[in-house]
Structure 1
């Protein structure tokens, strides 16, 4: 009989000790809150580091683009200069250098939209994708949806490079019903 009593007391003591040891291993609500706060602080630091890295990357990218532009300017074989008299002879009207309205389909308001996007010269328009031109048009609202900017970079390139006769022929062929 003593055997069963000792065994029962040993079992109860083991159960109580096991309960307390097990309870101490699980973190309390306060410990969980502390861990969450430390993780949030660590996350904020990582976001700050990421932003710093992005800024550095942007500055390196800008610097490398400037260096590439300088290299392109130095190694460029052709040099395009605006000849107003040649342009007037080919197109039959006085042309101002870098007037985006020269491009068929661009009027004063659309030219203003391009200027808002930093596209102010024929060269810049020539280097702009048709998708970017569409983005510029979309920024103006619904009324500009009827325009098709697919040929605008090509026309701007002809103007920039001084291919006035080609530009005149292309525009005459593609007037889109304007007379």
Structure 2
């Protein structure tokens, strides 16, 4: 008799668990189905908005192409003063570095000494502007041309430093070099 009662309770518990699982599964399905319809509604709204924006863009492009003057009638504007080469101010450089600085002295760049400056001059890089427009890879090629002892230098920051010197940002250059003494970052 005990075995029969245990078996009955087993089947009752199993049945109740199945019913509860079914109800919970149904409820989860209902909740997820509602969010799918919300997502598809939002996607539709975004697609409509995207179509409107594309139409606006096409309208703007048409207006722009209609408003463009022909190349023959365009006169080149004069070069603004701000685009002209910066003027070298020796006093500002001396104030920032505490020593006299010669214009286009590449040795002002942290990591460049007299021998490395000679290497750059051989590659016709003789000014701060020229060095500022030189890639770090080209700087490394210049160093490699001098032999093994020059390959240990890291020229990654040299164009940036040369640009600061060329543009007359003496205080910023001195501060940067103080933070990165001897090429250490």
Shorter chain as denominator, the TM-score bin is: 0.5 to 0.7
Shift of residue 76, structure 1, vs aligned partner: 6.3
| 1:142 aligned partner | 148
- Alignment root-mean-square deviation, CA: 2.0
The alignment's TM-score, normalised by the length of structure 2, stands at: 0.55
Superposed CA deviations along residues 26-78 of structure 1, whole A, max 9, x for unmatched, are: xxxxxxxxxxxxxxxxxxxxxxxxxxxxxxxxxxxxxxxxxxxxx8x945633
| 1:77 aligned partner | 82
| CA shift in 2, pair 1:82/1:174, >3 Å | same
Shift of residue 177, structure 1, vs aligned partner: 8.1
Give the distance between the partners of 1:153 and 1:119, measured in 2 at CA. 11
Give the distance between the partners of 1:175 and 1:97, measured in 2 at CA. 22
Superposed CA deviations along residues 98-117 of structure 1, whole A, max 9, x for unmatched, are: 00000000000000000000
Gaps of 5+ in 1: 1-70
The alignment's TM-score, normalised by the length of structure 1, stands at: 0.56
Secondary structure of 2:149's counterpart equals: helix
Correspondent of 1:128 among 118, 129, 134: 134
Task: Note if 1:151 corresponds to 2:157.
Answer: yes
How many residues in Structure 1 have an aligned counterpart in Structure 2?
Answer: 107
Shift of residue 91, structure 1, vs aligned partner: 1.0
1:1-179 pair list within 5 angstroms: 74=79, 77-79=82-84, 80-176=86-182
Give the distance between the partners of 1:115 and 1:142, measured in 2 at CA. 19
Shift of residue 145, structure 1, vs aligned partner: 1.3
